[in-house]
Amino acid sequence: MSRRVRWLIFAIVGLSAIVWLTATQTHQRWLQWWVERTVNAQTQELFGGSVRFDRVHLNRRLRLRIEGIEAQWHIAADSVPLHIDRMESRGPITDIALRRPWSVRFSGAKIGHPSRPGLRGLIRVQQGPRWRLALDADVELMELSELVWINSQHLRGSTGELTGTVRMTFGAQQTPELDCALRIDEPGGLVQTKMFEWLVPYLPATEAIRRLAARNELIEYRRAALELHGARDGRLKGLFRIDVPSHHLIVNLNLEITVDDETAIQRWLRLPEILNY
């Protein structure tokens, strides 16, 4: 049998399967089972097989839409609940099988607060040895307490409504890039005094700041903002602002953070294993 005939048979069988999958509700449930199984197999290290969907739909243009995504994200030394309202591929899912660049839109991504709007944005992916992943997200509204997993000692009990933007790019042959601008507007919220331990080396050596950082309690702040921009030389530059009227403290701090291992985040997210296949 010639190669052309084999490909023709493969195309006919594949097209028949797609029509069958999109035809009835029963077949939609079968599709959901198959997509869940595939996603869990590819993301075992991140989610430990916990990914579940409320609904999966494949339209006749072969675009995949998934609604009500739930998972336990094994991040750092903890496990946090992840919820995404909706994800939808911008092109046919055959792009993934053929290892073409593909992208997916998402909305309502949140950690632990299903009632919040969360994040909305676009993920663009290129697979293979020269894999690349880019995230463009708008933080519509998150609660600061959703980020406690980053550092529970310094963030536990902190509150505030967070908005802004996040742009991240990772790749096998490029330096990771980060560009984010996050803010908490009035009336602000609560913050751990131990958070100021991060700032003591960069602030004027005042006894008041040291005493505040040594305490272990929540204090009120009026507003806060963080901007970070990733440079290609392994450094993050940015600006941190916070207004604490109860202690007559207004911080405007220029930051420069040196990243010792530029691939740490992408290895932590298991991106090489997930995308290089």
- Residue predicted with more confidence, 9 or 186: 186
Confidence band for 274, pLDDT divided at 50, 70 and 90: low
- Residue predicted with more confidence, 4 or 61: 61
- pLDDT beyond 50 at 13: no
Most confident range (mean pLDDT) of 79-83, 90-94, 136-140 is 136-140
- pLDDT beyond 70 at 9: no
Does pTM surpass 0.85?
no
pLDDT at 255: 80
- pLDDT beyond 50 at 260: yes
- pLDDT beyond 90 at 166: yes
- Residue predicted with more confidence, 154 or 184: 184
- pLDDT beyond 90 at 224: yes
pLDDT at 266: 55
- pLDDT beyond 60 at 23: no
Q: Domain segments of the chain: what residues?
A: 1-115, 129-277
User: Averaged over 85-89, what is the pLDDT?
Assistant: 95
Query: For residue range 99-120, what is the model confidence (pLDDT) as tens digits?
Result: 789 899 999 999 876 678 999 9
**Nearest-CA neighbor of 220 among 193, 257, 202?**
193
What is the chain's mean pLDDT, rounded?
81
User: Averaged over 54-76, what is the pLDDT?
Assistant: 88
